[in-house]
Chain A
Amino acid sequence: MTTEPTPVLEVRALETCFFTDAGTVGAVDGLTFSIRKGDTLALVGESGCGKSVTALSILRLVPDPPGRIAGGEIVFEGRDLLRLSSREMRRIRGNAISMVFQDPMTSLNPVFTIGDQISEAIQTHESVPRRTAWRRSVELLELVRMPDPHRRVHDYPHRLSGGMRQRVMMAMAVACGPKILIADEPTTALDVTIQAQVLTLLDRLKREFGMTVLLITHDLGVVAEWANRVVVMYAGRKVEDAPVDEMLTNPKHPYTRGLIACVPHLQAVPSAERPPLTEVPGVVPSIVELGRGGCPFAPRCAQAMARCREQMPPPTAVVEGHQAACWLLEEATEA
């Protein structure tokens, strides 16, 4: 028997809805997964599948209205975050659990210097004098390897490059030594060389602070190199959950297979032949139009059977630590 390390965070049957003119969007629809201490868990899936809403739900930052967490539990250190008072939640946010967003420009305030903003992040959670907070800001900028931190601390966000802004975001996110860092597409807007810098930094901070990371991305290359577990989401649900190498070499869900096959992966030696890329036909449904019951992927799935359109496939174990929600797995074990 292997002793599974206890999860730091458990998301159970999470449901988050948006009430819009077009109807109710079940953005997250019964999502269950857990993150073990020290993991970097990647959340992947096409645009609109509910990755960001999951992250916002964990921090209880879903805009209400139009959104609302309609059900489920989010257990962190033995407590259900969904049951905490707003005050208790504020103490967790940015402190025990913090977040870095895709576009740092929208989360940095253009009219304050970065020193002001990092100090503010510190003082929100710790009663330290301004001077101390300011000195720690400079240290944090050094920690994230900001060039020339003593000068940069006085700069306004627009003076910084995209990579430097993301460093500032990371400095703010780790200011209070969080246990969990949620990074929502932290490098999507950056060049590959800068992306490599930022992800290296994230990995180093993770080790130094003993953090657990929830990394949201759509780039399987990033997943392969920086994460150790993956949860693949489709239409607000988890369709597959596995260690990274297992997911890449032995994907079970047709959607995961499609995601891997449709990307022109960089090859060490490019093949002379270039056959057409595998296509996943159709688009992610907007969740309003989904009938409950069937597999959400059925309309796009080349292997869908009659049963797929009627009943929701349950998560099924492939090997230990690897699950997929697809009726094909059941067929395979029954046969």
Chain B
Amino acid sequence: MNGVAADQETLLRVADLKVHFQQKKPHPLAAAPVVHAVDGVSFEVRRGTTFGLVGESGSGKTTTALAVIRLVHITAGQVKLGEIDIGALEGSELRRQRRHMQIIFQDPYSSLNPRVRAGAIVREPLEQLGMGDRAGRDERVAELFRHVGLRPEQQALFPHQFSGGQRQRIGVARALATNPELIVCDEPVSALDVAIQAQILNLLRGLQEEFGLTYLFISHDLGVVQYMCDEIAVMYLGQIVEQADRISLFTEALHPYTWALLSAVPSADPEVRDKRDRIRLVGDPPSPIDPPPGCRFASRCPFAQAQCTSETPALRQIRDGHTVACHLVSDDGVTPMRRSAG
């Protein structure tokens, strides 16, 4: 292989991903409505980094992540993990490749089977994928418990005998078991108290450093996202509207939706409060069943013009690594917010 170095570092490539869900017909003669949950999403994630997905509830973050690890079907587009074409995998081959991609769920309460001991929960993926022999698995599970800050003898306990934070540690150990390259973290700390949240975030960052893990990280808490993620994509109604590295996104947001999102975050920091221009969004996002033509944000955008409701804005690169899909952002990065501020 003679790809460029930067290219070799890319672990995950998602190109024009679409995930559509057929809903039940409202009546026998009607056409089945189609939910455009993910509708043409492209991004790349470098190995050993954390890629964040943010956006309103229902914008398609979870569905994107689940499609990437093939826990939902891919309607169209391509997902490549290293050299593996995830979308083309089937049957036993898909099962075999699962070891490379794991997930940590939001809810440490419902994502662990209450009748299975903690040790067996962590061991399960090893057994399913036939990794190692019995003694090897024993050793691996004990090692995983130590990695996530649990004591190996706690393997014998059931989930309800752990606190919420400890349960999430079990979830992390289970995700690590097969030595995956990519771990999807879907709201991994949303159900936890702030004190426990700090423990889990520190754990995830420590493990990333130690094992070179790559995370696809979803959170609605922008403080958490800013702390955890190297690269961030902002989603709105099934599409990416802006993407940038962590510094640029928070200091030079270009899309009106990103601005609205950032300005809505209540902050304990007076500097954040002073710097921010409030954009208050009115109303709710439109339905993903019949996404409106043009810019999907137009119905709530305070700057929308005629062009916005007729033409779909393409994702354009404004600066190195900083892309946006908005008609009103000029090629040199002047935003409608700046223009209206005069």
Chain B residues with a Cβ closer than 8 Å to the other chain, count: 46
Contact yes or no, B272 A283, CB < 8 A: no
Q: In the complex, what residues of A have CB within 8 A of residue B223's CB? A: 221, 263-266
Q: In the complex, what residues of B have CB within 8 A of residue A270's CB? A: 226, 246-247, 250-251
Given A163, A266, A268, A283, which contacts B284 in the complex, CB threshold below 8 Å?
A: A163
The distance in angstroms between the C-alpha atoms of A220 and B262, with both chains bound, is: 16
Given B260, B268, B275, which contacts A265 in the complex, CB threshold below 8 Å?
A: B268
Contact yes or no, A265 B267, CB < 8 A: yes
Which of A19-27, A102-110, A131-139, A273-281 is the contact stretch? A273-281
Contact yes or no, A264 B227, CB < 8 A: yes
- Asked if B224 lies at the interface with its beta carbon under 8 angstroms from chain A, I say yes
Report A51 CB to chain B, min CB distance, Å. 12
Given B57, B202, B251, which contacts A279 in the complex, CB threshold below 8 Å?
A: B202
- Asked if A113 lies at the interface with its beta carbon under 8 angstroms from chain B, I say no
Q: In the complex, what residues of B have CB within 8 A of residue A47's CB? A: 193
Contact of A221 with B247 at beta-carbon distance under 8 Å, contacts A264-B201, A277-B198 already known: no
Contact yes or no, A279 B199, CB < 8 A: yes
- Asked if B282 lies at the interface with its beta carbon under 8 angstroms from chain A, I say yes
Q: In the complex, what residues of B have CB within 8 A of residue A264's CB? A: 198, 201, 223-224, 226-228
The distance in angstroms between the C-alpha atoms of A194 and B261, with both chains bound, is: 10
- Asked if B196 lies at the interface with its beta carbon under 8 angstroms from chain A, I say yes
Contact of A222 with B202 at beta-carbon distance under 8 Å, contacts A192-B220, A264-B226, A280-B195 already known: no
Contact yes or no, B268 A195, CB < 8 A: no
- Asked if B342 lies at the interface with its beta carbon under 8 angstroms from chain A, I say no
- Asked if A199 lies at the interface with its beta carbon under 8 angstroms from chain B, I say yes
- Asked if A213 lies at the interface with its beta carbon under 8 angstroms from chain B, I say no
Interface residues on A, range: 35 or more
Which of A63-71, A79-87, A223-231, A313-321 is the contact stretch? A223-231
Q: In the complex, what residues of A have CB within 8 A of residue B201's CB? A: 264, 277
Which of A3-11, A30-38, A88-96, A254-262 is the contact stretch? A254-262
Given A223, A267, A278, which contacts B198 in the complex, CB threshold below 8 Å?
A: A278
Contact yes or no, A277 B227, CB < 8 A: yes
- Asked if A272 lies at the interface with its beta carbon under 8 angstroms from chain B, I say yes
Q: Is chain B's interface secondary structure helix, strand, loop, or mixed overall? A: helix
- Asked if B281 lies at the interface with its beta carbon under 8 angstroms from chain A, I say yes
> What 1/0 flags go to B58-95 for Cβ under 8 Å of A?
00000000000000000000000000000000000000
- Asked if A333 lies at the interface with its beta carbon under 8 angstroms from chain B, I say no
Contact yes or no, A223 B247, CB < 8 A: no
- Asked if A43 lies at the interface with its beta carbon under 8 angstroms from chain B, I say no
Report A42 CB to chain B, min CB distance, Å. 11
Given B202, B222, B260, B281, which contacts A266 in the complex, CB threshold below 8 Å?
A: B222
The distance in angstroms between the C-alpha atoms of A143 and B310, with both chains bound, is: 34
Residues A177-192 near B (CB distance < 8 A): 191-192
Contact yes or no, A199 B226, CB < 8 A: no
Report A21 CB to chain B, min CB distance, Å. 14
Q: In this complex, what residue of B is CB-closest to A200?
A: B280
Report B189 CB to chain A, min CB distance, Å. 10
Contact yes or no, B195 A248, CB < 8 A: no
Contact yes or no, A269 B281, CB < 8 A: no
Chain B residues with CB under 8 Å of chain A are 56-57, 163-165, 193-199, 201-202, 205-206, 220, 222-224, 226-228, 246-247, 250-251, 260-262, 264-269, 271-273, 275-276, 280-284
- A193-B281, A274-B227, A283-B195 given; name 17 further pairs at CB < 8 Å: A191-B220, A192-B261, A192-B265, A193-B264, A196-B264, A196-B280, A225-B267, A259-B195, A262-B194, A265-B268, A266-B250, A268-B251, A268-B269, A268-B272, A269-B247, A270-B247, A280-B195
24 sampled A-B residue pairs with Cβ under 8 A: A46-B195, A161-B284, A192-B261, A192-B266, A194-B284, A219-B266, A224-B269, A224-B273, A225-B267, A225-B273, A263-B194, A263-B198, A266-B267, A267-B226, A267-B272, A268-B250, A270-B246, A270-B247, A270-B251, A277-B198, A277-B202, A277-B227, A283-B165, A283-B195
